Amino acid sequence: MLRKIAAALVIFCLVFEQSGFAQVAPQITVPAYLAGALSPDRFRPIHLRSISFDQATNNFNLLLDKGDVRDLRQSQLEETTRRLFEYFQIGLRLPNSMFWVNLRPDDPSNIIDPYLEKTELGKVLLEADLQLKKDLSACTSPDTKEGRSYWNKLYAKAEELFGQSDVEIPTMTRPWIVPGEIIMAQSGERAYVYKAMLKVMLEQDYLKDAPGYNFDDARFKALNEYSSQLIRAEILPKLTRDVNSAKRYAGLRQVYYSLILRSGINKSDSRNLPLSSTARI
């Protein structure tokens, strides 16, 4: 019996030994979204993975990750490369302070930086922000299971604070997509992104001086904070998952990788950088 147990342990160790498992792991097809790691409509778009500058030819060399795209046509590759390289160049020429959008009906004059507004990159950011607000609305809709749970808990809290009085629940929730974990290697004139994650946060958590969250009645303040706690715990993890893997945010992730890689180039010399590039998958 002991020999059988020992043999089983040896087989187990051989199967899951590091080098062997590294070769087998990519073939595992258990859907990660069952554990909440990926969106059910997950999709990895073509995106920049690495960029280097060849001083001898005065040319950029791009390495593209083809993601989940199959049967990639040459025309598709050329158009995608042009667009991703354009995002990279915009990142070089504009300061970090310009890369923001904020679709707020109460502040229509402060939606996007005027320079970013003129670019295709700015359009992608606006579309992602609009999609995020739609997704938050869907998650808190009483027509869904999670939405009903959210409102039932919020109404129970309101009754605890206000009793049986009829009150309008003045909750204010503004989600932001912000940079998450980034792992990048830089060597000389080359930069390679190993990992680039985004995350979704509430505005009052990301901007400590966020306006519009002051309440004259302490009970309303407590109710709004309770609403925010529910969203942090029950909804933001799902939104973060979708932003990082759902197809509807694929364009945003393409922009994100391109902007990360621009940090591997000396921005002080950006005016003299060439406009040409070569790409490979």
- Residue 251 pLDDT exceeds 70: yes
- Residue 178 pLDDT exceeds 90: yes
- Residue 118 pLDDT exceeds 90: yes
The pLDDT score that the predictor gives to residue 210 is: 66
CA–CA separation, 244 and 240 (whole Å): 6
Residue-wise pLDDT tens digits, 204-218: 888 877 666 677 788
Residue-wise pLDDT tens digits, 237-246: 999 999 999 9
The pLDDT score that the predictor gives to residue 211 is: 62
187 membership: H or E segment, kind and range: strand 175-187
Q: Is 281 helix (H, G, I), strand (E, B) or coil?
A: coil
